Structures are given as structure tokens and as C-alpha cells.
Amino acid sequence: MMFVRGLVVLLILLFALLESFPVRAAQDDLTVGLAADRVDISTGFSGAKIVLFGVKSKPGDLAVVVSGPEREMRVRRKESVGGLWINRRAMMFHSVPVYYDYALSRSESDIAPLDVRRENRIGLNALGFDPETNEDPDDIGKFQEGLIRSQQIAGLYPLAPKSIVFLNDGFFRASLDVPSNVPTGEYTIRTFLIRDGRIAEMRAIPLRIAQVGLSARIYLFAHENGLLYGLSTILLAIMAGFGAHIFLRRD
């Protein structure tokens, strides 16, 4: 099914460049599409891939960025006090994407200047979060680096950018990983055409990640009936423990 969807997207993108669509081809230097516009999380979900296809009709470098949903996150720093490591300082950041990944056609330093990458949040080195403080910028930077490292450890931020693969001079593909612990919500995939270090064109595509099947029903029940869900899990744990005791008991 994924192959069929990808083939359909490829055909659509190719037709967009044919003479039967002269107006659109003349207006758009960049055309992109997804093999699937949603990721379904079911029981046993172990991760997925986001596959994007595109066509660029003019020269330029490419960057693909997927991120979302944005939340507040608090970062804590441990310090040694009397030989014990305890949390002494914390900093809150706003508008932090829980999940972030990106792919490039060239290295970050070659694709665009740092100010352009920061303005469009292209790359980990260009990410900037909104701190709830007016402290020293160097101190804010250290807390932000700690936040990025914690997200990398969780598998929600990449260690390095993915590569954009060119199928021919203008036809390209990018594959981004979706980890098993990705949160549900609305995401945005932005594709940039970069020429002479400046953004020549940008396309944004929405992506929905949602739970389906039994896991979706359990998730919905847990959020709408928190107390009842907590009591039921405790009851199930007691029953499981009692059943194991009976089964394993030896006279």
C-alpha cells in the first residue's frame, strides 16, 4: 500500500511539470508531496517513516524540516552539593517542538548562512527556543543545549541530518524517521528551495499522527475518565499479582 501511494505521488509530481499544466509549472519552482499524509499509531507501533517526493524546476539547494507539536519544557541542571548531585537550577522554554527531524541536500554550513537557518529553524544548530527568563545568553544557550540533548536521548531529535536523494536532476526524495514514542498531534513538514544562501521558495504540508484501534480507545478512555482508568489499572495489577501467586504457589 505504501508503494502504491508513493507511485501515485510520483506520477502527480511528474504531471505537474508537463505541458498540460503550463500555468502551475510556470509559477512553481518547487512541488512536493507525501507518500502518506498521516501516521497511524496502533498497538505494537514500533515507528514509521515519512517519505516525501518533490520536483524542483530551477537550480538550488534543498532542506526538509518536520516538527511539532510545540509545548513548554523545563530543563533542570544538577549541581554537586556535599557530594550529592541534586537539581539546583531550572529554566522554562516555550514553543519547543516535541519532535524534530530534517534532511539536507548539502551540509548546513554550505546550504545557507546561520541567520537564514535560524530564521527558518533549519538544523539543530539553528534552533532557538523562547526562554522564560532574561538571564545571560551564554547560560540560556547551555540550558538549550541540555534540552536538545535530552530530546536526542529520547530519540525525538536527530543526531545528524538525513540526506536528500536526487532521482534525477530535479526529482528528489527525503525519508525521515518517526520514533515509536512520538506524541500524537499535528505536525508540519516544510520544504525549502535555497538559492545563493536565501530562501527562494517554501512549501508546507500538514501531517497528522494519531492513535487508531484499541490503543486509541484506551488513550481516549484514560483522558476522559482519569480516575476510573487509574482505579482499573490498580485493580488489574492486583488481580494479575493474585493470579500469579495462585498459579505459582506450591504446597
Say which residues have a Cβ less than 8 Å from residue 25's Cβ, sequence separation at least 6: 16, 17, 18, 19, 57
The helix or strand, by DSSP H or E, that contains position 193, with its residue range, turns out to be: strand 185-195
The helix or strand, by DSSP H or E, that contains position 185, with its residue range, turns out to be: strand 185-195
Candidates 107, 68, 109, 27; CA nearest to 204 is 68
- pLDDT category at 240 given cuts 50, 70, 90 is confident
CA atoms within 13 A on the CB side of 106: 13
Cβ distance 95 to 50 under 8 Å?
Answer: no
Give the Cα separation of 120 and 200 in Å (integer): 12
Candidates 63, 65, 99, 94; CA nearest to 186 is 99
Is the model's pLDDT at 200 over the cut of 60? yes
Give the Cα separation of 53 and 32 in Å (integer): 6
Give the Cα separation of 233 and 124 in Å (integer): 39
| Residues forming beta bridges with residue 90, ordered by sequence position | 76
Condensed to tens digits (0 to 9), the pLDDT of residues 1-54 reads 554 555 555 555 555 444 333 434 445 789 999 988 888 887 778 888 999 999
Give the Cα separation of 139 and 96 in Å (integer): 18
Mean pLDDT of the chain: 80
Cβ distance 141 to 123 under 8 Å?
Answer: no
Would you list the domain boundaries of the chain? 2-211, 212-251
Cβ distance 77 to 146 under 8 Å?
Answer: yes
Say which residues have a Cβ less than 8 Å from residue 244's Cβ, sequence separation at least 6: none
Is the model's pLDDT at 121 over the cut of 60? yes
Give the Cα separation of 122 and 109 in Å (integer): 11
- Specify the pLDDT at position 217: 52
Condensed to tens digits (0 to 9), the pLDDT of residues 127-167 reads 988 887 777 777 888 889 999 999 999 999 999 999 999 98
- Specify the pLDDT at position 167: 87
Looking at residue 197, the DSSP 8-state letter turns out to be T
Q: Which amino acid is at 143?
A: F
- Specify the pLDDT at position 24: 42
Classified by CATH at the fold level, domain 2-211 comes out as: Immunoglobulin-like (2.60.40)
Cβ distance 2 to 35 under 8 Å?
Answer: yes
The neighbour count for residue 84, using CB atoms within 10 Å, is 8
Cell of 15: 504531471
Condensed to tens digits (0 to 9), the pLDDT of residues 67-113 reads 999 999 988 877 666 666 666 678 899 889 999 999 999 999 899 99
